[in-house]
Amino acid sequence: MLNFKQISEEVSMEDWRKLAAEADQRNEKIPEKRKGPDLLIKAIRGLSLITWVLMLVIIILVEKAKPDPETFFDRWMNLSTQQGWDLDLYRSAFFLMLSVMLLACSGLLLNSFRRRRKTDSWRVNLVLVFLMALAGSIHYLMKYKTLG
């Protein structure tokens, strides 16, 4: 019967390191060949940037389209304020929201092709901008029930 002490004396620390390195190599199924961001990653980043710029434009359009609140000075000086939403600006924002959702879906579709390794992840900013555009589109449709 072998004693643990005898086994540990026979196997040196260097042998254990070699065994551990071999085990690590066996666990690596796909060698890392990526040298940097490829065309797919650049396209996803570009779509993400475009969607956020469009979302900024949408926020500005919605801010311009909403009615102005009546202040004390408006009442005192008998100034008229915009009473309702500017539907032309709001409709433009709605169509931009639809385009943002389309671009975000395209980016997420491209991202799904890039999900083969453990280090690959979903682009949270594309999901977030999609959900924001979806919420704005639902708000528009519920409030005005029209597409054009």
Question: Would 4 be classed as within a structural domain?
Answer: no
Question: Would 48 be classed as within a structural domain?
Answer: yes
Rounded to whole angstroms, the Cα distance separating 110 from 106 reads 6
pLDDT (tens digit, 9 = 90+) per residue, 115-144? 666 666 778 899 999 999 999 999 889 887
Q: How many domains does the chain have?
A: 1
Which residues span the domain enclosing 74?
A: 36-144
- Determine what percent of the chain is predicted with pLDDT higher than 70: 72
pTM of the complete model:
0.66
Question: Would 57 be classed as within a structural domain?
Answer: yes
**90 φ/ψ angles, rounded to the nearest 5 degrees:** -65, -35
